């Protein structure tokens, strides 16, 4: 549970945060500048921590898994990369692609809400905001929904008072709205390419430009081990 510290005659809340990484969005937006695997997500987390004065208690990496039947080499490389993240203390969450109708999607979200055992105050707020998230393409990737669920869940459990999202996807606007209603802080971080205007207009944001990311490259020797 977030606490307080005493500084210069007053008490200040410790800004404890979890970083939620939308790996698919991150990969597609960053590849114009870098080979994505050469960016050290732990260094990115440290950069965010220093700029926003946050205590990062965990980094979560959400990624879809490629089909081994489509390309065994790509699958192996991807799994090796995820294993390297785990070794560095990053929590990796993976999902397979699914296709759901809007009706099935709404039921799935309702089931998640029921499993949270919310109080009478929180439940109506969550239902009003969370169940209204629609999927216009009727293609449920699983990743966006999973991140949104986990962000809200950690806030409701009062484990953190600050949510940091590495993604430029506007699909997270409803979840951010809900988190703000629950009186917690949010921050989105992304490269300029593909960064939703809606996210930046409505919530605090941090642009990860090329200059900043050049300071977050993995060590050369670590990259060489993968080649």
CATH of residue 187: 3.40.50.1010
- Give domain status of residue 113, yes or no: yes
- Spatial distance between the Cα atoms of 102 and 106, rounded to a whole number of angstroms: 6
Q: How sure is the predictor about 225, in pLDDT bands with cuts at 50, 70 and 90?
A: very low
Q: How sure is the predictor about 65, in pLDDT bands with cuts at 50, 70 and 90?
A: confident
- Give domain status of residue 1, yes or no: no
- Give domain status of residue 13, yes or no: no
pLDDT score for 138 = 38
Report the pLDDT averaged over residues 214-220. Answer: 84
Residue 4 pLDDT greater than 50, yes or no: no
Residue 190 pLDDT greater than 70, yes or no: yes
- Give domain status of residue 3, yes or no: no
CA proximity to 143, closest of 95, 179, 75, 79: 95
pLDDT score for 159 = 83
- Give domain status of residue 64, yes or no: yes
Structurally, the chain folds into a number of domains equal to: 1
Domain hosting residue 39, numbered range:
19-225
- Give domain status of residue 94, yes or no: yes
- Give domain status of residue 7, yes or no: no
Q: Which two tokens mark 12?
A: 């200040």
Report the pLDDT averaged over residues 182-195. Answer: 93
Residue 85 pLDDT greater than 90, yes or no: yes
First to last CA, the chain: 42
Percentage with pLDDT > 90 across the chain: 50
- Give domain status of residue 46, yes or no: yes
Residue 103 pLDDT greater than 80, yes or no: no
Report the pLDDT averaged over residues 39-51. Answer: 95
Around Cβ 96, how many Cβ atoms within 10 Å?
10
In Å, how far from its chain's centre is CA 115? Answer: 21
pLDDT score for 31 = 87
Report the pLDDT averaged over residues 159-176. Answer: 92
Residue 69 pLDDT greater than 90, yes or no: no
Q: Which two tokens mark 48?
A: 């965010």
Quote the Cα angle for 157-161-167, to 5°.
Answer: 100
pLDDT score for 141 = 55
Q: What average pLDDT is seen over the chain?
A: 81
Report the pLDDT averaged over residues 171-176. Answer: 92
Residue 198 pLDDT greater than 90, yes or no: yes
Report the pLDDT averaged over residues 48-63. Answer: 94
pLDDT score for 127 = 65
- Spatial distance between the Cα atoms of 171 and 135, rounded to a whole number of angstroms: 9
Q: Out of 134-143, 189-198, 215-224, pick the least confident.
A: 134-143
pLDDT score for 209 = 93
């Amino acid at each position: 549970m977030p606490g307080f510290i005493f500084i210069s005659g007053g008490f200040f809340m410790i800004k404890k945060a979890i970083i939620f990484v939308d790996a698919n969005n991150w990969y597609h937006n960053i590849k114009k500048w870098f080979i994505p695997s050469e960016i050290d997500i732990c260094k990115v987390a440290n950069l965010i921590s220093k700029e926003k004065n946050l205590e990062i208690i965990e980094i979560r990496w959400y990624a879809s898994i490629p089909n081994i039947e489509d390309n065994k080499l790509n699958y192996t490389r991807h799994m090796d990369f995820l294993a390297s993240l785990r070794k560095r203390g990053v929590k990796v969450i993976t999902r397979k692609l699914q296709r759901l109708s809007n009706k099935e999607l709404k039921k799935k979200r309702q089931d998640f809400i029921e499993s949270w055992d919310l109080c009478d105050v929180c439940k109506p707020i969550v239902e009003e905001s969370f169940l209204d998230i629609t999927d216009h393409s009727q293609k449920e990737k699983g990743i966006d929904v999973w991140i949104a669920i986990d962000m809200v869940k950690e806030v409701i459990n009062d484990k953190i008072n600050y949510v940091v999202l590495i993604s430029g996807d506007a699909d997270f606007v409803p979840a951010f709205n809900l988190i703000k209603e629950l009186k917690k802080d949010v921050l989105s971080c992304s490269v300029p390419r593909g960064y939703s205007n809606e996210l930046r207009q409505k919530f605090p944001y941090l642009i990860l430009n090329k200059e900043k990311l050049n300071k977050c490259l993995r060590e050369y020797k670590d990259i060489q081990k993968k080649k």
